[in-house]
A = this chain, B = another copy of it.
């Protein structure tokens, strides 16, 4: 169903070294934690999780590491609406649905991102590294409550 673009430990090592990054226990732990996560977590969430098995790891390191990984392209930063930065280990082309109520992000694959037409004006003017359909609204769990909550003012 969700055959992710798995990056093996070996490939992880090679990708890091190719970019001059040292292989540290922290980096391995952060990458593994993200890879095994299904919820597009924030740095803080990953840190909270890792601290159980890696008590000395600092939030700063987790955050820096994730940003570094995103920069060298082994993970992605996902689009949000002003909430804490979140990450995605799945670099296979896919799309997102973002729930405005619970902030969960759901993946889907159809349509094929390759097939989506981008005007030449855009492809010429920009170097495009990410292409994704971003849907927003209310997930099945939230949509009924949302109707009630979307009431008064302020």
Contact = CB atoms under 8 A, between A and B. Distances in A.
Contacts of A21: 153
B122 A130 contact: no
A40 to B, nearest CB: 12
Given A81-B79, A84-B82, A119-B110, A126 B152 contact: no
A85 interface: yes
A153 B110 contact: no
Interface stretch (A7-15, A46-54, A133-141): A133-141
Interface in A23-45: none
B131 A133 contact: yes
A71 interface: yes
Contact of A111 (B99, B117, B134, B153): B117
A125 B111 contact: no
A129 B100 contact: yes
A132 B22 CA distance: 38
Contact of A97 (B68, B84, B122, B146): B122
30 contacts: A22-B153, A68-B153, A78-B81, A79-B81, A80-B81, A81-B85, A97-B122, A97-B126, A97-B128, A99-B126, A108-B121, A108-B122, A110-B119, A111-B117, A116-B133, A122-B135, A125-B139, A126-B137, A126-B138, A126-B139, A128-B135, A128-B137, A129-B137, A129-B138, A130-B135, A130-B137, A131-B135, A132-B134, A133-B134, A134-B134
